[in-house]
């Protein structure tokens, strides 16, 4: 599903950026991805849930989020509960 969003951007932000719409779309996707990662890391630090759960909530790849967390010095907590959650989620997805 696509949704059109109109955004006004100061011209000085666009200096040196090619004006093609694909370039701007790529920049927006990169920014949105990084925003989601930062939000996910904050949620994880606040104890909202496991990285897998948070990744699902924000539409991120679990693998990518774990990689991003490790790049920031965060070692994901792997408790028995987390393993049961992951096994339960994988079992329900394969049925």
From the number of C-beta atoms within 10 Å of its C-beta (0-12, 13-18, 19+), residue 86 rates as middle
What's the confidence (pLDDT) of residue 5? 83
pLDDT (tens digit per residue) in 53-66: 999 999 999 999 99
Q: What is the pTM of this model?
A: 0.72
pLDDT tens per residue across span 31-85: 999 999 999 999 999 999 989 899 999 999 999 999 999 999 998 766 566 556 6
Q: Residue 92: is its pLDDT beyond 60?
A: no
Q: Which two tokens stand for residue 88?
A: 């339960």
């Amino acid at each position: 599903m696509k949704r059109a969003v109109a955004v006004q951007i100061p011209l000085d932000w666009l200096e040196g950026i090619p004006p093609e719409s694909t370039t701007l779309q790529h920049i927006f996707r990169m920014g949105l991805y990084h925003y989601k990662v930062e939000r996910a890391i904050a949620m994880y630090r606040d104890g909202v849930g496991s990285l897998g759960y948070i990744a699902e909530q924000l539409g991120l790849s679990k693998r990518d989020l774990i990689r991003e967390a490790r790049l920031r010095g965060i070692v994901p907590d792997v408790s028995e509960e987390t393993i049961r959650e992951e096994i339960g989620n994988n079992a329900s997805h394969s049925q």
